Structure 1
Amino acid sequence: MASEDNVKIEPTLFSPDDWQMFFALRDNPPEPTERMKNAALSYKRIIDNNDEDCRV
C-alpha cells in the first residue's frame, strides 16, 4: 500500500472541445444500451437484496 507521502495528485486539464462534448452529452445524453440496462438491473437487485439482509 502506498504511503500518502508518495501520492502525487495532478489536475486534469480539459480542452475547449472536451468541455463542449461534456456539456453536450450532459444536456442530451444518448439512450442507454442493452448492456447498461442490464447493469442497472443487476445493481438494483444487489442493492435490494442487501437492504433485505440489513432489516431487523
Structure 2
Amino acid sequence: MLSPKKKKKKKKKKKKKKKKKKKKKKRNYQKTLKTRMKSCTSNFCLVICFLLINLF
C-alpha cells in the first residue's frame, strides 16, 4: 500500500509543474498579443498615410 501512495504523490508533483509551465505560456502570449496590436496599429497608420499621399 505504501508504494502506490508514493507513486500518486509523484504524479501530483508532475501535474503541478505542468500547470506552472502553462501559466508562463499564457503570460508570454499576452505579451505577444500586445506587440502584435502595436505592429497592427503602426501598419494601419502607414496605410492611411500612404492613401492620403496618393489622394494628393
TM bracket, shorter-chain basis: 0.3 to 0.5
TM-score, normalised by the number of residues in structure 2: 0.42
TM-score, normalised by the number of residues in structure 1: 0.42
More helix by share: 2
Specify the structure having the higher radius of gyration (Cα): 2
